[in-house]
Amino acid sequence: MTLVAAPPTFDRVFAEVERALARATTPGEVQNLARLVEALLTEHGATETELAYLAVDHVLQDRGQLDRLHQDHREIDASLRAVQSAPDAAEARRLLAAALQASRQHMLLEERAIFPVLERALQPVTLVELAAAWMERTG
């Protein structure tokens, strides 16, 4: 069973946000886009923490990877919050673009480094149960 970190939905939403970001002329427009991304990532992060990270906390902790993932979440969250108080559209665009790039890198790390650890550390039945719980949460 192969786990996928970033569903195509994330890539499509991020690409749409980037297209809209290029046309955004006011801080409010960028802030609305940031709220959209934040809502998407908040649910994703909660699901990760509740399902995947807790399942292999002990394996990842030894390698420092879990700390890195949590730090990524904090930095992405901080960038998205900073968009809301950006003094102008240019700064808001820069912050949101940085958050999108960091989100992509984070998901790539999950796909390349974390999910293989999950696959090696967990029994196949546990992986199936996690996948079912993930699907149930994400609809």
In a domain, 24, yes or no: yes
In a domain, 105, yes or no: yes
> What is the C-alpha R_g of the chain?
16
Look at the alpha carbons of 55, 119, 123, 6 in this order and tell me if their dihedral is positive or negative.
positive
Per the structure, how many domains does the chain have? 1
DSSP annotation string for 2-30:
---SS-HHHHHHHHHHHHHHHH--SHHHH
pLDDT digits (tens, 9 = 90+) for 87-127: 999 999 999 999 999 999 888 887 887 777 777 777 778 77
In a domain, 15, yes or no: yes
The pTM for the full model equals 0.75
Q: What is the pLDDT of residue 52?
A: 61
Give the structural domain span for 99: 8-138
In a domain, 2, yes or no: no
What average pLDDT does the structure give for the chain? Answer: 81
In a domain, 55, yes or no: yes
In a domain, 70, yes or no: yes
Distance CA 72, CA 62 (A): 18
Q: Using the structure block, give the residue that is written with the tokens 């108080």.
A: 85
Bigger pLDDT: 69 or 38? 38
Q: For a pLDDT cut of 70, what percent of the chain falls above it?
A: 75
